[in-house]
Amino acid sequence: MSTLTLDQPVASAATETILSLNNIEVVYDHVILVLKGVSLSVPRGGIVAILGANGAGKTTTLKAISNLLKAERGEVTKGSIVFAGERVDRMSPNELVRRGCIQVMEGRHCFGHLSIEENLLTGAFTRRDGNAAIKRDLEKIYELFPRLKQRRNSQAGYTSGGEQQMCAVGRAMMSKPKMILLDEPSMGLAPQIVEEIFEIVRRLNAEDGVSFLVAEQNTNMALRYATYGYIMETGRVVMDGEAKALRENEDVKEFYLGVAEGNKKSFREVKSYKRRKRWLS
Amino acid sequence: MSDATLRPIAGINFNSFRVRAALILAAVLLLGIIGIRFDSSGTLHKIFVDPFDQMVSAPDLLVQTIWEGLVSGVLYALIALGFVLIFKASGVFNFAQGIMVVFAALTLVGLYEKGVPAFLAVILTLGVMFVLAVAIERVVLRPLVNQPDIILFMATFGITYFLIGLGETVFGGNPKQMITDQLHLPRGAIELKLFGGFVSLQKIDIAAAIIASLMIAVLAVFFQYTRIGRALRAVADSHKAALSVGISLNQIWVIVWFTAGIVALITGIMWGARSDVSFALEIVALKALPVLILGGFTSIPGAIIGGLIIGIGEKLGEFYWGPLIGGGIESWLAYFIALGFLLFRPQGLFGDKIIERI
């Protein structure tokens, strides 16, 4: 079944870490400090969510890992990123994709003038295992996303938002990743489609053992599918825990899930989280 | 007029490009016809009727003119192709394309003069163009990545003057003869009997047209069906997304600049065979501008068809309408046509329509 990640056992011994960030700081344009010491880790075969409001630093964190920051004049100035036992913070996105870590960017970013099938095939750019294997994986993607098969010859720019998101995830899968960094898969999509996409994330995780790090504003959805969650505020991780524990935490309920006990509070009363100085830990 | 005939007219959308163009054309024709009736001095007759009379009465001259236009059009198209390749893949308008043509041709001739056999010289020149592509990527593009487009554009000016200097230092500034015979390019002309007259076709022009078409076909197949070609189109679509799937921009840029270098070499050989190889050739690169405006900056078929239209239009204009104002139309007519296009269809004939979802 697991044609996409042959070289890796479906992880169950969850203690092994595939990705860890230690105290990373990110500076944009040499002056703007965006991440102020973020540490997190993803177990092999896990689904981990990064939650938080706009501007909390979720996307920056993912881009720091995949090293797409450089294209936006950002830079990791402190800390280290280790993927599959190897320091990766100085690697180009190309090298990182070769090692099995690929990002699906926020807003999908399909190649609008290429057909869906060509989009998927660009995902296999870094592969060297021959056309037959690529064809096989393409069929596998089509089996996961039957809608993409119907629209394989349409220009991606003319497909719907949901189809583009599926195309983006499928394209990432074509690189045979060990880990996918998924940025806001729910953005601008109907709840039903979001559900569908998260179901596929779960399936890829279970069947192929792909690890996921998902940045999401849709806290509710993300915590249903993730095993572990980190909550970020203004460039710091302010809370983390098992998804279940987070779901039941009163503060999380209040701030992110929109279920407050008692009277609705005004924004003035909403306090920022006490920042644990994680860089001292 | 009855209601029934009016209704569909009322349904026409007067803002649509085609309808507006048709209206303008109709108005011009109407004015022309009215003008000819009241035209005492015969000026309008000379502009609107006489040239077409000449075309009909001497078809062999017309064919000759169109053929010459076609050939220069093919060469314009080749230069424009070099621009389009680089523009699509790196968003850089490469001012240095013209000098790359000269530089490639000079290198070829220079190597031959140093005693290298002709075909080996071609291969070595390709090698030089590859080294140039790598050097440009390392020294110019990579450090300037993510800078505004205008800065990259200015950098290509720098490349231009660097190449002029380098070329003059190494090969000297004197015009050189292209090694046409040594490359087994045909010489002389074919005389064709046509419509009771003669049309003479230069063999080198025929060769140029065939080689250019072949190269364009190869490029089209390369872009459409290969892994690298697909990656090139992906990069042209979105740099960021291409980065995110692990396409290495540095590698793509080298490939694209090298391809542009190959195109430049072939253009250089063909232009060089028709005149001689000198830095004055660089000027023809400017002719590529109206071609690009006509065809669209992002379209390869556009570059080709734009080149042909400009080439043929220029020659026809020069031959039939030029004498009316004392000749010399050829040097500016192309820009004039381009200006018209900018007013009515700024993305060019085949420029990418921007697909955007909201």
List the one residue out of B290, B315, B318, B286 whose CA is nearest residue B303: B290
> Which tens digit of pLDDT belongs to each residue from B62-108?
888 888 888 888 888 888 888 888 887 777 888 888 889 989 999 99
Q: For chain A, what are the domain ranges?
A: 17-106+175-280
Interface test with B, best of A109, A129, A154 (most B CBs within 10 A): A109
Chain A contact for B247 (CB, 8 A cutoff) = yes
Token pair, residue B23, equals 């209206």
Q: What is the DSSP letter of A156?
A: G
List the one residue out of A179, A174, A203, A175 whose CA is nearest residue A18: A179
Residue B333 carries which side chain, given as an amino acid letter? L
Per-residue pLDDT of chain B (358 residues; tens, 9 = 90+): 444 444 445 455 556 667 788 888 888 888 877 776 666 666 767 777 777 877 777 778 888 888 888 888 888 888 888 888 888 777 788 888 888 998 999 999 888 888 888 889 999 999 999 999 999 999 988 888 777 778 888 998 899 999 989 988 888 878 888 787 777 777 777 777 777 777 788 888 888 888 888 888 888 888 888 889 899 888 888 888 898 999 988 888 899 999 999 999 998 888 888 777 888 777 777 778 888 888 877 778 888 888 888 889 888 888 888 777 777 777 788 888 888 878 877 777 776 655 554 4
Chain A contact for B231 (CB, 8 A cutoff) = yes
List the one residue out of A165, A71, A153 whose CA is nearest residue A110: A165
In terms of DSSP H, where are the helices of chain B? 3-10, 17-37, 43-48, 50-57, 59-90, 97-113, 118-135, 149-171, 203-225, 227-237, 239-244, 249-274, 284-295, 300-316, 330-344
Regarding beta strands A228-233 and A211-216, do their DSSP bridges make them parallel or antiparallel, or are they unpaired? unpaired
- Asked if residue B271 lies in contact with residue B76, where contact means CB atoms within 8 angstroms, the answer is no
Token pair, residue B123, equals 């291969």
CB-CB neighbors (< 8 A) of B356 in chain A: 157
Per DSSP, the three-state class of A176 is coil
> Cβ separation of A112 and B146 shorter than 8 Å?
no
Token pair, residue A14, equals 């969850």
List the one residue out of B333, B335, B291, B229 whose CA is nearest residue B84: B291
- Residue A240 backbone dihedrals phi, psi, to 5 degrees: -150, 160
* Cα angle: B28, vertex B30, B31; to 5 degrees: 65
CATH class of B64-344: mainly alpha
- Asked if residue B87 lies in contact with residue B80, where contact means CB atoms within 8 angstroms, the answer is no
CB-CB neighbors (< 8 A) of A104 in chain B: 244
Q: At CB < 8 Å, which residues of chain A contact B?
A: 66, 68, 71-73, 92-94, 96-98, 102-105, 109-114, 118-119, 121-123, 125-126, 155, 157-158, 161, 164, 171-172, 175
> Which tens digit of pLDDT belongs to each residue from B284-326?
777 788 888 888 777 788 888 888 888 898 888 888 887 777 7
The reported pTM is: 0.78
Alpha carbon distance A247, A256 (integer Å): 10
For residue B337, the distance in angstroms to the closest alpha carbon of chain A comes to 29
Sequence-separated (6 or more) residues with CB below 8 Å from residue A244? none
Token pair, residue B36, equals 């000819």
State how far the alpha carbon of A268 is from the alpha carbons of A130, A264, B161, B212, in Å.
Answer: 59, 12, 62, 71
CATH architecture of the region A17-106+175-280:
3-Layer(aba) Sandwich (3.40)
Alpha carbon distance B84, B295 (integer Å): 10
- Asked if residue A61 lies in contact with residue A32, where contact means CB atoms within 8 angstroms, the answer is no
**How far, in whole angstroms, is CA A234 from its chain's centroid?**
19
Sequence-separated (6 or more) residues with CB below 8 Å from residue A226? A47, A48, A49, A212, A214, A243
CB-CB neighbors (< 8 A) of A68 in chain B: 240, 243-244
Averaged pLDDT, groups of 10, chain A, 281 residues long = 42 69 90 91 92 88 90 87 89 91 90 91 90 91 91 90 91 92 90 90 91 91 91 88 87 71 53 50 41
> Cβ separation of B237 and A97 shorter than 8 Å?
no
Alpha carbon distance B56, B50 (integer Å): 10
**How far, in whole angstroms, is CA A263 from its chain's centroid?**
35
Chain A contact for B230 (CB, 8 A cutoff) = yes
